[in-house]
């Protein structure tokens, strides 16, 4: 079972952090190990996932979309229907329960699209914990509605003005805060990134997506799907749906990254497609870097994909050929966005709109009866501002 004891998925992962954080990471790892074995913890987490977040989510047979694509049977795993509007709440619920076990009174988080910030502020409000969310000032502009939401939920939103003023810089600031306040603070990372044990822990919390989808498709179709398709930012909704199918070798995994405006320096966020191995935010993985090894600025129309790194487990899946990764441009994502809205009456977030567009390309590999499950990671309410400006 991966990762190994030192937190490695093959060559990727590990813990590259200052000495002051080692104790906190070890405490988190130990507590998480105990919690995983503790029936009470699992019952409590399942309770909140069900009664608060709204699980299980529907596996929707998208007949109209399938017809437009022209081949194959497409199902949507409707994570957009969850409380707060995206898959992020699966992870924040798990981590807030861990924070409670560790008796931490303060929660910090980083956020890009604002979805993780909202999901964190939400659970902090419910469990009565203090909450501060780091967010790039560029993203604050782009995701105004989510900023208001976080404030209404009682969280403090801390603008980050350094670097590209997006998710990468917010993450760096959050890590800095954690170093200083590690005693009473738990840092809820929003994706399968960061130092061990985060990539494995967040994957486990998000695996509920794939576990449900597996049972649901077996019940509906009597067999496993041929393809799983999901968008990849940090990589949590995709790993969440992929991982429970890891040993089902016939199920193909396809991750879709953001090609932005072009696959050129500073214009995209296609980390697995274009990046190189390096170290960012405490983990060894693929990342976008220039010829001097400096981390490149990422770009995507979807704030949730706008990150120059990616979870180490994805780098591993790519290396061993378990998953394939492709990139879809801003423009194509807009097409995917419009398509799903218009044929199914479901307004998707811009992030999974990348995956929706890719179905048009995947079509060439599909047979009439191929089954495809696409992870619809979130709803599009947060993006209507951006989209309406572009139409």
Looking only at residues 217 through 246 of this chain, which bind ligand PLP when binding is defined by CB under 6 A?
A: 231-238
Q: Using the rule CB under 6 A, which residue among 129, 273, 349, 372 binds ligand PLP?
A: 349
Q: How far apart are CA 6 and CA 112, in angstroms?
A: 28
Closest approach, Cβ 28 to ligand PLP, in A, equals: 19
Helix (H, G, I), strand (E, B) or coil at 287: strand
Helix (H) or strand (E) holding 69: helix 63-69
Closer residue to ligand PLP (CB): 59 or 241:
241
Nearer to ligand PLP, 131 or 366 (CB): 131
Interface pick for ligand PLP out of 81, 113, 157, 280 (rule CB under 6 A): 113
143 binds ligand PLP (CB under 6 A): no
Give residue 216's Cα distance to chain centre: 22
DSSP letters spanning 289-333 = B-TTSPBPPP--SSGGG--SB--HHHHHHHHHTSEEEEEEEHHHH
Asked if 304 and 351 count as a contact pair (C-beta separation under 8 A), the reply is yes
Specify whether 318 is catalytic: no
- Which residue lies nearer to ligand PLP by CB, 88 or 196? 88
Among 86, 131, 167, 356, binds ligand PLP (CB under 6 A): 86
Nearest-angstrom CA–CA distance, 82 and 209: 11
Query: Closest distance between ligand PLP and the C-beta of residue 189, in Å?
Result: 10
Q: Is 341 a catalytic residue?
A: no
How is 189-209 classified by DSSP, letter by letter?
--SS-SSTTHHHHHHHHHTHH
Is 285 assigned a catalytic role?
no
For residue 237, the minimal CB distance to ligand PLP (Å) is 3
Total number of residues that touch ligand PLP (CB under 6 A) = 21
8 A C-beta contact, residue 241 and residue 209: yes
Q: In the numeric block, which tokens belong to residue 127?
A: 């469990």
Task: Report, in Å, the least distance between residue 206 CB and ligand PLP.
Answer: 8
Distance in angstroms (rounded) separating the CA atoms of residues 65 and 166? 33
Cβ 193 to ligand PLP shortest distance, Å: 8
Figure out which of the listed residues 117, 210, 282, 304 binds ligand PLP, where binding follows CB under 6 A. Answer: 304
Question: Is residue 89 involved in binding ligand PLP (CB under 6 A)?
Answer: no
The answer to whether 72 touches 370, Cβ cutoff 8 Å, is yes
| One residue of 90, 92, 115, 332 binding ligand PLP per CB under 6 A | 115
From residue 250, alpha-carbon distances to 77, 95, 245 in Å are 19, 32, 9
CB 110 within 8 A of CB 167: yes
Q: Closest residue to ligand PLP, Cβ-based?
A: 378
Coil, helix or strand for 212? helix
| Set 15, 73, 77, 88: catalytic member | 88
Q: Quick one: which of 107, 351, 359, 374 contacts ligand PLP (CB under 6 A)? A: 351
What is 128-179 written as a DSSP string? T-EEEEEEEHHHHHHTHHHHHHHHHTTPEEEEE-STTSSHHHHHHHHHHHHH
Question: Whose Cβ is closer to ligand PLP: residue 282's or residue 352's?
Answer: 352
Binding window for ligand PLP (CB under 6 A); candidates: 25-33, 268-276, 316-324, 347-355:
347-355
Supply the minimum distance, in Å, between the C-beta of residue 376 and ligand PLP.
8
In this structure, what is the dihedral angle of CA atoms 80, 83, 85, 91, given to the nearest 10 degrees? -90
Tell me if 377 contacts ligand PLP by CB under 6 A.
Answer: yes
How near is the Cβ of 351 to ligand PLP at its closest, in Å?
Answer: 3
Using CB under 6 A, list all residues that contact ligand PLP.
86, 88, 113, 115-116, 191, 231-238, 304-305, 349, 351-352, 377-378
Which residues are catalytically annotated? 88, 110, 377
């Amino acid at each position: 079972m991966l990762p190994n004891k030192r937190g490695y998925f093959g060559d990727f992962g590990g813990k590259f952090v200052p000495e002051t954080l080692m104790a906190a990471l070890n405490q988190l790892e130990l507590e998480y190990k105990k919690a995983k074995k503790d029936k009470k913890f699992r019952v409590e987490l399942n309770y909140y996932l069900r009664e608060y977040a709204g699980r299980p989510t529907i596996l929707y047979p998208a007949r109209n979309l399938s017809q437009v694509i022209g081949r194959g049977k497409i199902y949507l795993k409707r994570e957009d229907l969850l409380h707060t509007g995206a898959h992020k709440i699966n992870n924040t619920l798990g981590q807030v329960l861990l924070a409670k076990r560790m008796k931490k009174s303060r929660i910090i988080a980083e956020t890009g699209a604002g979805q993780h910030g909202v999901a964190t502020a939400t659970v902090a409000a419910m469990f009565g914990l203090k909450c501060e969310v780091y967010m790039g000032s560029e993203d604050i502009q782009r995701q105004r509605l989510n900023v208001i939401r976080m404030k209404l939920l009682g969280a403090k939103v801390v603008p980050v003005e350094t670097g590209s003023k997006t998710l990468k810089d917010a993450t760096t600031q959050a890590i800095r805060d954690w170093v200083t306040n590690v005693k009473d603070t738990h840092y809820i990372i929003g994706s399968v990134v960061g130092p061990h044990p985060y990539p494995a822990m967040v994957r486990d919390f998000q695996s509920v997506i794939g576990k449900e989808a597996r049972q649901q498709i077996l019940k509906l179709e009597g067999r496993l799907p041929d393809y799983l398709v999901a968008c990849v930012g940090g990589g949590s909704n995709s790993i969440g749906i992929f991982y429970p199918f890891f040993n089902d070798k016939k199920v193909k995994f396809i991750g879709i990254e953001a090609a932005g405006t072009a696959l050129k320096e500073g214009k995209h966020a296609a980390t697995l497609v274009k990046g190189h191995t390096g170290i960012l935010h405490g983990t060894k993985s693929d990342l976008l870097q220039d010829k001097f090894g400096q981390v490149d600025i990422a770009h995507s129309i979807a704030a949730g994909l706008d990150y120059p790194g990616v979870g180490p487990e994805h780098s591993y899946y790519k290396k061993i050929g378990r998953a394939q990764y492709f990139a879809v441009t801003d423009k194509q994502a807009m097409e995917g966005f419009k398509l799903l809205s218009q044929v199914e009456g479901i307004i998707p977030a811009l992030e999974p709109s990348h995956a929706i567009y890719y179905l048009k390309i995947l079509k060439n590999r599909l047979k009439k009866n191929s089954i495809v499950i696409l992870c619809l990671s979130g709803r599009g309410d947060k993006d209507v501002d951006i989209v309406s400006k572009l139409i």
